[in-house]
Amino acid sequence: MRKNILFVCALLFISKIAHSKEVDNGQYIEVGALEASLTFGYGGIENPIHGAEDIVSFVLPHLAYYGENWYFDDFSLGYSVSQNRSFYFDVVGTFNEDGFFFELDGIDKLFAINGLRDLNRPGRPPVIPDYLTPIERSISYQAGFAFGYANRGVGIELTTLHDISSVHNGSENKLVVYYANTLFGGQFLGEAGATHKSNELIEYYYRIRPSESVSRIVNSSLGGSAINYHLKLEYRYPINEHFSFMLRISNTWIDKDLSNTPMFGADQYLSGFSGITFEF
């Protein structure tokens, strides 16, 4: 998948088409307008879990609505306690991404993301001895606060979230810095971020239970929290009122202490999507 995304990335930039249509930088969204789109193309998530298949999709839906205070943006839900043109302080909720590596059966139907996914669970041995249980983890939903500042294409956002679905009772803190601007007649976004995951979250998702492995080594604790880093690039080039080219690519570097554990087969993972977006 990595090759495919990089290929499309290169293709789009090599074949960039000059045009003079004015576009905004995508940093803002109109209040009261429903933003709904379907992107047809190719993309997904490299699954860093040992032995797990990548998650691949050919369709990427998007739905967002920002009212005066309430908003939803795909899986995220929020209410702005305080905001102006640049600052905001929100009460928010969103899914934790770690759960998606293990369990996509519910969500993938909504997001049509299971096109080529292997039916085996991550980490499950090819032949399961009677005393072993398959590795199963649930998706968790988190809620907390988001504080952000945005001005002239530059933005910073700090989010602190806690599990409210009683899946792991852990927390996650995310810091994102981004730059949005117009480029070659399209919208460009560059984003860098760090995500701190609490010990409870790490233990739940990535510690292999005694019943899940024949090895006794994996029974030990993972030893604390973890910080993942990511870089994300996004480019959207409008073709006309309803159609646009879209390329989104993100790479996440997993905390070394975490990626060195038996659950992981890689120390980083790529995700992204490229295709043609139809906006309703």
| Nearest residue (CB) to another protein, 43 versus 123 | 43
Q: 79 Cβ partners below 8 Å, 6+ apart?
A: 69, 70, 71, 90, 91, 92
User: DSSP states of 58-105 as a string?
Assistant: EEEEEEEEE-SSEEEETTEEEEEEEE-SSEEEEEEEEE-GGGGGT--T
Q: Does 102 bind another protein (CB under 8 A)?
A: no
Q: Which of residues 41-100 bind another protein (CB under 8 A)?
A: 43-45, 57, 60, 64, 66, 68, 71, 73-76, 78, 80, 83, 85-86, 88, 90, 92, 94-97, 100
Distance from the first to the final alpha carbon of the chain: 28
| Shortest Å, Cβ 131 to another protein | 35
Q: Which stretch binds another protein (CB under 8 A): 162-170, 201-209, 212-220, 271-279?
A: 271-279
Question: Counting contacts by CB under 8 A, is residue 212 touching another protein?
Answer: no
Number of residues that bind another protein (CB under 8 A): 50
Q: Can you tell me the distance from the alpha carbon of 277 to that of 280, in angstroms, rounded to the nearest whole number?
A: 10
User: At residue 4, what are phi and psi to the nearest 5 degrees?
Assistant: -65, -45
Query: In the window 157-176, what residues touch another protein (CB under 8 A)?
Result: 157, 159, 161, 174, 176
Beta carbon of residue 197, minimum distance to another protein (angstroms, whole number): 13
Cα 190-104-50 angle, rounded to 5 deg: 80
Query: Nearest Cα to 188, choosing from 245, 242, 138, 255?
Result: 245
Q: Of 24-32, 125-133, 209-217, 254-262, which part binds another protein (CB under 8 A)?
A: 24-32
Exactly one of 248, 255, 264, 275 binds another protein (CB under 8 A); which one? Answer: 248
What is the C-alpha separation between 103 and 139, in angstroms, rounded? 7
Q: Which amino acid is at 155?
A: G
Cβ atoms of residues 250 and 195 within 8 Å: no
Confirm if 172 and 230 have CB atoms less than 8 A apart.
Answer: no
**Minimal distance in Å, beta carbon 130 to another protein?**
37
Residues in contact with another protein by CB under 8 A are 26-32, 43-45, 57, 60, 64, 66, 68, 71, 73-76, 78, 80, 83, 85-86, 88, 90, 92, 94-97, 100, 111, 113, 146, 148, 150, 155, 157, 159, 161, 174, 176, 178, 191, 248, 271-273
